[in-house]
Amino acid sequence: MSDMTFERMIRQMTPAIYDSLKQAVALRKWPDGRRLTAEQTELCLEAVIRYEHENNVPEELRVGYLQQRTCGSASSGTDVPPELAGLARDASRD
């Protein structure tokens, strides 16, 4: 697919097509159940990311978004004990 064709496709993509491509990437399957090839997955993911950028999709709704958290952060509302956060030292190995 040439760059001009890809660019035009992004500009003409509807929200329904975007949602369908996003779901296809997440499931690695087309809506009819056929599996995406590695190349199809890569192209669909690129199209989804470009669509999100071009259409100013809020960051928290974008594909791959991870909410930034810190252990014991007051903003999270919960304190995470160090042993659950993977920060505890194993004293038995000293």
pLDDT (tens digit per residue) in 24-78: 999 999 999 999 999 999 999 999 999 998 888 888 887 877 777 766 555 555 6
Considering only CA atoms, give the Rg of the chain. Answer: 20
pTM (global) more than 0.75? no
Domain presence at residue 75: no
Residue 14 — pLDDT band, cuts 50, 70, 90? very high
In a domain, 21, yes or no: yes
Which residue type is seen at 23?
A: Q
Q: Report yes or no on 56 lying in a domain.
A: yes
Residue 85 belongs to some domain of the structure: no
C-alpha torsion 32→36→42→47, nearest 10: -10
Domain count, the chain: 1
50 within some domain: yes
pLDDT value at residue 85:
63
Q: What is the DSSP letter of 5?
A: H
Q: Domain range holding 56?
A: 3-61
Indicate whether 57 belongs to any domain. yes
Contact between residue 18 and residue 51 where contact means Cβ atoms under 8 Å apart: yes
Decide if 25 is inside a domain: yes
